[in-house]
Amino acid sequence: MIPTVFSARRIITMDPSRPEATHVMVSSDGRILAVGGPEEMRGRGELRYDERFAEKVLMPGFVEGHAHMMEGSVWRFTYLGHYDRIAPDGRLWKGIGSTNALVERLRDRAGELADGPIIGWGFDPLFVPGDRLSRLDLDRVSTTRPVMVLHSNVHLLTANSVALEMAGYDENTDIPGVVHTEDGALHGELQEMGAMFPVMRRVGASFRSLSGDPEAVWNFARSACRAGVTTSTDLLNELPDDTLADLFAMTGDEGYPLRLVPMLSAMSLPPEAVAVRAKELRARSTDRLRLGGVKIVTDGSIQGFTAQLNAPGFHSGIDNGIWNIAPEALNTLVDELNREGVQMHIHVNGDGASLAAIEALEAALSGHFRPDHRHTLQHCQLADRAQLRRIAALQCCVNLFANHLYYFGDKHYEVTVGPERACRMNPCASALEMGIPLAIHSDAPITPLAPLVTAWCAINRLTDSGRQLGSSERISLDAALNAITLGAAYTLKLDGELGSVEVGKRADFAVLEDDPYVLGPESLREVRVWGTIFGGKPVQAGSF
């Protein structure tokens, strides 16, 4: 049981008492024993030196505070999105820029798969010039096998003639959401879940097939490792016993290099049973499977026009705001969970939803104040400074969706919320100014799992077209790196155990080829990731 000493070009510790180091000593059971220079690596006995990272930079393993296991499963379908993206297996998928490119890629995949349906995901027609993708385009992929393209917003799909026929759709179909062309024929686009359902279930592409089977759980860890992530949430999981048994088994595997933090869906049980189940789960946590948190979903998404917005509502487009839980029911649930000492992560996108959550938390915490509750507002994209002041007064945390600034920023500026609100979306600087504990996230697979990119978004607030959204809400490199390590760990109540390189903490590291401070804040997203050290064991991206 000889401790190992890793040396590095630089170790960024996130510990203010020793912000930098070059050596770290870790025990064989995965704890940090010493941090400092070479002369400070004194053990009680023999030491093993590992020099392989001597030219690399170490940071605390990144913590993704809001992602989904679907990142591991959705890749069984073919990626058709606008942005370049790397799959868990390391394959680079270039962004799709034309209908021809899309057809070609699906044709290639049809060849690779030999038989069965051909399914694409992540397609966004806004980025593809020319006529809208139709049945006829997809008939060029196959006229004998079903072909189905799921759009990136997950509320639309386009199917080929074979797939439409399987669902019994034809030119006489008169069903809301089944689109016809000018001449009355089927177009191929299906809008909203109802119209999509008959095709998806017959093609064998239901959302259930995207839940966490073993391959997905491993893929999730593969994606995480590529991004330097050693701890990630799976922010909505019903956690039935069979899923739980699988998760215990897989995370218990010696080689599984990720601490998973699944959040129990509050909608999966009667309100009075949620707290009981959460506490029961908390007691069963292991070092790699951290249980006990609860997720509550209030509204929809801003880009899908289903968020709850306060007046004056959406800038343009139709307001389709939805509640996934009635405001009164939210009050009851939040009160119950707070009283029982269960930590909540509340999904709130629009400012109407964050207001409802703030009001529910105010009522709950007035009745029963819990020190250090760490209830966290997730996304919280449109909270204004007045709402942030109330969040600060409640001592809640926020986990802001910084990636939206880049990936959806132009759309928010031009279409969804307009210039003023787009420029104060995901207000990282205001949150920090008011002392609100801050994390930032990707919501993978909605946007790519890559905390350094997320940090870059929060620092620079640049959209895809290069527009800067609100320079006053930019944060420093230090603050952004904190938000993807200790900050995110804090929202998960894991900051005592990980998130910084300190003696006694878990030996989880992100291993970087480049130094974030040398490349600088503008280029942070170009920092290359070698992989991770997980519990003291080096894990190279792509090696498993």
Write phi, then psi, for 269 (nearest 5 degrees): -140, 160
Check residue 318 for interaction with another protein (CB under 8 A). Answer: yes
Sign of CA dihedral 441, 451, 150, 409: positive
* Interface size with another protein, residues (CB under 8 A): 41
User: Which residues, numbered 457-516, are part of the site for another protein (CB under 8 A)?
Assistant: none
User: Which residues, numbered 350-389, are part of the site for another protein (CB under 8 A)?
Assistant: 352, 356
The sheet with strand 294-297 has its strands ordered as 62-64, 229-237, 259-265, 294-297, 344-348, 376-379, 397-400, 438-440
User: Which residues, numbered 214-253, are part of the site for another protein (CB under 8 A)?
Assistant: 238, 240
Q: Kindly tell me which residue out of 60, 122, 198, 448 binds another protein, with binding defined by CB under 8 A.
A: 198
Nearer to another protein, 333 or 422 (CB): 333
Q: Match 């393993």 to its residue by tokens.
A: 61
Give the max Cα distance, the chain: 83
Element containing residue 428 per DSSP (H, E): helix 428-433
**Dihedral (C-alpha) 55, 57, 58, 61: value to the nearest 10 degrees?**
-130
Check residue 344 for interaction with another protein (CB under 8 A). Answer: no
CA 128/CA 120 separation, integer angstroms: 15
Check residue 402 for interaction with another protein (CB under 8 A). Answer: no
Q: Kindly tell me which residue out of 49, 100, 126, 207 binds another protein, with binding defined by CB under 8 A.
A: 207
Nearer to another protein, 155 or 474 (CB): 155
x/- contact string, 166-195, with another protein (CB under 8 A)? -xx-----xxxxx------------xxxxx
Q: 297 - beta bridge partners?
A: 347
User: What is the CA angle 485-486-491, rounded to 5?
Assistant: 105
Check residue 55 for interaction with another protein (CB under 8 A). Answer: no
Q: Kindly tell me which residue out of 111, 270, 312, 435 binds another protein, with binding defined by CB under 8 A.
A: 270
Min CB(364)–another protein separation in Å: 17
Nearer to another protein, 51 or 192 (CB): 192
Q: Kindly tell me which residue out of 52, 94, 132, 201 binds another protein, with binding defined by CB under 8 A.
A: 201
Check residue 322 for interaction with another protein (CB under 8 A). Answer: yes
Q: Kindly tell me which residue out of 47, 101, 244, 329 binds another protein, with binding defined by CB under 8 A.
A: 329
Q: Do residues 324 and 267 lie in contact, with contact meaning Cβ atoms separated by under 8 Å?
A: yes
- Tokens, residue 264: 């129990």
Q: How many CB atoms lie within 10 A of CB 255?
A: 11
Min CB(325)–another protein separation in Å: 7
495 Cβ partners below 8 Å, 6+ apart? 486, 489
Min CB(265)–another protein separation in Å: 7
Nearer to another protein, 87 or 166 (CB): 166
Nearer to another protein, 133 or 356 (CB): 356
DSSP category for residue 85? E
Query: Under the rule (CB under 8 A), what is the footprint of another protein?
Result: 167-168, 174-178, 191-195, 197-198, 200-201, 206-208, 238, 240, 265, 267-271, 273, 308, 318, 321-329, 352, 356
